[in-house]
């Protein structure tokens, strides 16, 4: 079970901040940066992982070099929002790697998804062969991204409550 963030001390927060900026940092370098021994730093990282604060590590890839720089956000309205329809929709979304994010939202639509693909032609295919085939889809509204101003998965940790 995930521990609440207020159980973290300053060193834990500093470790998390360093790791989210450089997940490949050596344990020795990390230990130096947080003024701990290498053994103590490793123990902290292992505890943060065990407690669910660190979910994993991944490389940030260059979408332009991998022919996946076209981004579209799509609002999706379902025909009904019963538990079984929501579950079927959620399960189906997980099957499509082109859908890189899916969020249940409040307001005029039920979900917003982020699609990453090569170009508009590929998005049109995904729209017809993927989005409109998802269970319960009644309406979609698409927003192709013209320019990415800021994109990050980092969590701002500077002002979080501390022990």
Say what the pLDDT of residue 160 is: 58
Flag residues of the chain having pLDDT under 70: 1-6, 159-163
70-144, CATH topology level: Alpha-Beta Plaits (3.30.70)
Q: Which residues of 2-33 are buried (b: 16+ CB within 10 A; e: fewer)?
A: eeeeeebeeebbbbbbbbeeeeeeeeeebbee
Whole-number Å distance between alpha carbons of 35 and 10: 12
Say what the pLDDT of residue 145 is: 98
Say what the pLDDT of residue 1 is: 47
5-50, CATH topology level: Arc Repressor Mutant, subunit A (1.10.10)
* Domain map (residue ranges) of the chain: 5-50, 70-144
Say what the pLDDT of residue 63 is: 95
Place of tokens 């409109």: 132
Say what the pLDDT of residue 3 is: 47
């Amino acid at each position: 079970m995930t521990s609440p963030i207020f159980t973290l001390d300053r060193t834990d927060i500093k470790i998390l901040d360093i790791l989210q900026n450089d997940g490949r940092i050596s344990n020795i370098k990390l230990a130096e940066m947080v003024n701990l021994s290498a053994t103590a730093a490793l123990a902290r990282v292992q505890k943060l992982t065990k407690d669910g604060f660190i979910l994993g590590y991944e490389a940030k890839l260059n979408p332009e070099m991998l022919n996946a720089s076209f981004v579209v956000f799509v609002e999706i309205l379902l025909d009904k929002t019963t538990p079984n329809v929501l579950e079927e929709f959620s399960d189906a979304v997980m099957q499509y790697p082109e859908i890189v994010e899916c969020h249940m939202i409040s307001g005029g639509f039920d979900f917003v998804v982020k699609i990453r693909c090569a170009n508009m032609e590929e998005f049109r295919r995904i729209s017809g062969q993927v989005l409109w085939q998802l269970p319960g889809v009644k309406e979609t509204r698409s927003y192709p991204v013209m320019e990415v101003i800021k994109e990050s998965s980092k969590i701002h940790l500077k002002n979080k409550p501390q022990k």
